[in-house]
Structure 1
Amino acid sequence: MSKESLPLLQETVIFTGSKEPLEAMDRVRNLGGTAIYLPLIATAIRQSELPDFTAYEWLIFTSRNSAEAFCMLDVPVNSKIAAVGEKTAEVLEQHGCRVDFMPSVYSADRFIEEFPRAAGKAPCLFIKGSLAKNTIASMDMPVDEWVIYETTLNIDNAKKLAAIKNAVVLFASPSAVSAYREAGGDWQGIKVAAIGHVTRDAILQNRGHVDFIPEKYTILDALNEIVKGSCLDE
């Protein structure tokens, strides 16, 4: 088989997010590559008192993890919902929640530019993980935060990753970057894909390099960039 028909032939692509990306991994294999799942972060729902959801006109979600944890509560909510990212919205909609707002680019930075124009000064609740940045809360409008899950770094997996060479490694969050660096990862001998400019910036701040970054911040779009790059390497 040729690189033309199997563009990822002899390529290894490593996914590091908290959820195994089955569709993307299948696509890697179908294109001739080896797909490895090595999560660098883990999440666990925090047991805490529920907020009064009726006090908020908007609920904000910026990750699939927060959406999944919220949907497990199975509580009736009449608030409008804002989501960052297709997968986040998909989880909410699969559980019967209508998503009323999504930014034009799936990033918190673009969200805080566009969302106030849609919501005005309406009271909002940002439902987040323990390591989420305070970007959403920085908006000039009433935003409360509720931590629904804890995020921990998987240093054992990060050490395994730090020893791997000749692979493309896909980072989807600054937390994954932190785990890799804490485990001694030095960016040598790997190509690096980043989902989103925040993750890209975290990699660069940690003296890394970014070989692939998609315009649309999804795993499948990042994989498309990897495929294009492999074709150009022929």
Structure 2
Amino acid sequence: MFDPEFPLTGETIVFTGSNQPEEAVELVEKFGGKTLYYPLIETSVRQSQLPDFERYDWLIFTSGNSAEAFCQLHLATHAKIAAVGEKTAEVLEQHGYQVSFMPSVYSADVFVKEFPAVAGEANCLFIKGSLARNTIASMPMKVDEWIIYETTFKIENAEKLKALDGVTVIFASPSAVSAYREAGGDWSGIRVAAIGHVTENAIRQEGGTVDFIPEKYTYTEIINEIVKGSF
């Protein structure tokens, strides 16, 4: 019998990002569900020469991974900071950096539409992972790119994931989708959740159907969307 206090009873939610979102895991458990964690990508900080940060007016971060890697360097900078997403901003602010701009929707596609009006002709440095798309660099301003970490696929976890049935799988990046497909994963027997319309588009381009996507691109909001679908 369905229990509205525990709407995820009997449901299993699979997280696939490079870091397990503890708050979202706790929320699933609060609603009576179970969780699995099969990260489909892993990151490692690249050992490379540091850019001359004094040249830049803005530093741009589009992921928590790039923010965490940057914070490990303990650098002082006069540049303003732009971040895509609450978690990305949270990482930076926890390490003493002030975030001066975030887009109205946590997506690089929206960022490139809104940021030029704020930054003008500023010199910008996009701090990114090796598989990041080139959306940010498409802006009509000076944008240099610095790869701060490498992204690799965890195919062994993708193999485990493709063997599951009757679960809801959360994809948070196109890279995770690529890893799943490279391992031969298809979309049968699972419900699919996407964080962000870029990830949603990657799933659709690979022949999948997205069952859940939140208006606000966070893990907690995707869990709330899954809960709504249970009623």
TM-score if structure 2 supplies the norm length? 0.99
Tell me which residue corresponds to 2:114. 114
Tell me which residue corresponds to 1:42. 42
Tell me which residue corresponds to 2:70. 70
Tell me which residue corresponds to 1:59. 59
Post-superposition shift, 1:114? 0.3
CA deviation profile, 1:128-160 (whole Å, cap 9, x unmatched): 000000000000100000000000000000000
Post-superposition shift, 1:162? 0.4
Corresponding pairs, count = 231
Post-superposition shift, 1:180? 0.6
Q: In 2, Cα distance between the equivalents of 1:35 and 1:137? A: 37
Deviates more, 1:27-36 or 1:42-51: 27-36
Post-superposition shift, 1:27? 1.1
Tell me which residue corresponds to 1:162. 162
Tell me which residue corresponds to 1:19. 19
Tell me which residue corresponds to 1:97. 97
Post-superposition shift, 1:3? 2.3
1:7 and 2:37 aligned: no
Tell me which residue corresponds to 1:229. 229
Post-superposition shift, 1:37? 0.8
AA at the equivalent of 1:121: E
Q: In 2, Cα distance between the equivalents of 1:34 and 1:71? A: 33
Structure 1, unmatched stretches of 5+, are none
Q: In 2, Cα distance between the equivalents of 1:175 and 1:157? A: 14
3-state SS in 1 of match to 2:131: coil
3-state SS in 2 of match to 1:200: helix
Q: In 2, Cα distance between the equivalents of 1:202 and 1:39? A: 18
Tell me which residue corresponds to 1:133. 133
Post-superposition shift, 1:2? 4.2
3-state SS in 2 of match to 1:78: coil
CA deviation profile, 1:15-52 (whole Å, cap 9, x unmatched): 00000111111111111111111100000000000000
Q: In 2, Cα distance between the equivalents of 1:5 and 1:116? A: 46
Q: In 2, Cα distance between the equivalents of 1:58 and 1:30? A: 40
Q: In 2, Cα distance between the equivalents of 1:24 and 1:106? A: 18
Identity of aligned residues (%): 67
3-state SS in 1 of match to 2:100: coil
RMSD of Structure 2 on Structure 1 (CA): 0.7
AA at the equivalent of 2:139: M
3-state SS in 2 of match to 1:100: strand
TM-score if structure 1 supplies the norm length? 0.98
